[in-house]
Structure 1
Amino acid sequence: MASNATMLFLALPILLLLLASSAEAQLSPNFYAKTCPNLQSIVRSSMAQAVAKEPRMAASILRLFFHDRLVTGCDGSVLLDDTPTLTGEKNAFPNKNSARGFEVIDAIKSSVEASCKSTVSCADILALATRDGVVQLGGPTWAVALGRRDATTASQSAANSDLPGPSSTLSTLISKFAAKGLNARDMTALSGAHTIGQTQCQFFRSRIYNDNNINPNFAALRRGSCPQASGGDTNLAPLDVQSPNKFGSEYYQNLMGSRGLLHSDQELFNNGTQDALVRQYRNNKALFFRDFAAAMVKMGGITPLTGSSGEIRLNCRKVNS
């Protein structure tokens, strides 16, 4: 007969799964239907204006969403500024001097607060803004489950350790996403977010000068604005050389032509386990859109704060006093 200690050990994983399911079950697309009925129209309108002014902003908000969800979960921690008593995530290596779009979230939060005071979390605003930015550039839509609350802490160390880097290998990408409950197919679909936006020279310099699996003409093009020795670290280049302001499947075509800008991008098509899926997404945009939307919903459910956990921040940059 199993001992009490053994039975407790076996029951713990089941208990953790039930708790996680319970937290996710509290999220609903209709969470604010009565308390803030204009929420979705406010966010949609605000993102339409932001993207019309600067199309790149859709990608910047999408990146914030990724860098929030893949660290401590869906809690808006990436939005917190540093204070004497709190070290935020904005100065973690993956975010420092590259994460952007905070002012757009601030503006949306102000509009939402004017309509529904102390009701909607920054985490939920970021989730909605991300979806609406993707749609603005021609990407898929999905139902955003709502009801998250905001973190009162952040983790710079987790941001440094948990987020995949631009030089990540395929095995590292798979393992880091798996650690958050996302499988290899989710990872390859979510990597398609690089069909929009730009990145800095410092993140692709090693790729264009040192990698062998790169189209020589593409490498020469990118070297023009990214010197090998020094300087130009913040010079920008489009992640998708074909259509950086259109959400489509061209990203996967780039990979098949060895024109992935980041080393981590090209790892998805480098005689590895994801080659076949990359081909499928290149040839079937509808499949990519379906899988991307499903993976975004899945990522949006990573350990959200619900119920009485966390708080509804009045200012997305700081914890309520």
Structure 2
Amino acid sequence: MQKPQEILLAEPRGFCAGVDRAIEIVERALQKFGRPIYVRHEIVHNTYVVNDLKAKGAIFIEELSEVPPGATLVFSAHGVSRAVQQEAQARGFSIFDATCPLVTKVHVEVAKLAKEGYEFIMIGHKGHPEVEGTMGQLDHGIHLVEDVADVARVQPTQTEKLAVVTQTTLSVDDAAQITAAVRARFPKVREPKQQDICYATQNRQDAVKLLSPQVDLVIVVGSPTSSNSNRLRELAARLGTTAYMVDSVDELRHEWFDGIARVGLTAGASAPEILVQQVIERIKALGAVSVRKMQGIEETIKFPLPKGLRIDPATGLEIRERSPETGPAGH
């Protein structure tokens, strides 16, 4: 029985700037304030990352009533509703917001257009924390659609001022199809200037489109709760390549590799590279001799940390904001 000869690595894969920033916020808060730090919802949807932060002293909660008064609280990368923000402030927590800036951008757009009298159609997955956070920016006036069939059922109270927004981690192709259905039914609908689906989701899906036709099997490293990881596996399968998603190396099955010459490997935006390397080692143990990285976009985006958590690695001191009067901080 043939065993894999080559592993082809998608590029880019794994952590995006928003995930990097969210994890760093929790780690720096732990360094600065000590354990425990409370985090509302999984900071990112990855089992390994959550367990690693738990070991360092993070406590993950869903309800703010579980957080003791005066504690330090971090909001997850997916964002939260206005009600959660207001309750956290009212309870007097010290709050650091790890919401991905690209999710915040959608929240800001919703707030701005709502003031102008707009109602919204949101394309996304019901129950996903990002969707709950975005829909929770307003008390009413956001209608969720999950597929093209839902578009026909939407009943906005008016159609003169209607805007569409999307979850940032959707399938690019599905979102385009649903947006087209929205446009067909509501020709005056206002669309975002730049699509809401984030650069990292787009880049990882584009990489899978290049990868899939060149391999016999695609393995996606990602947790079951991770929307963007699930979309990568679906996309590979849709392109006609057998595809599996694994949360860790222990979920790999030997029989998947029978008769497979070339394995494609990628990871969702919340999956750390250490898990990818463990999968590579396991496939090598089955006989794969070469690992080849595909050509792909190099991502250089970095998002700044919130004030109060910016530390100079050289001195270990907090970086104060420069002010024009005093020049560089500390001088």
More helix by share: 1
* Alignment TM-score, normalising by the size of structure 1: 0.25
* Alignment TM-score, normalising by the size of structure 2: 0.25
More strand by share: 2
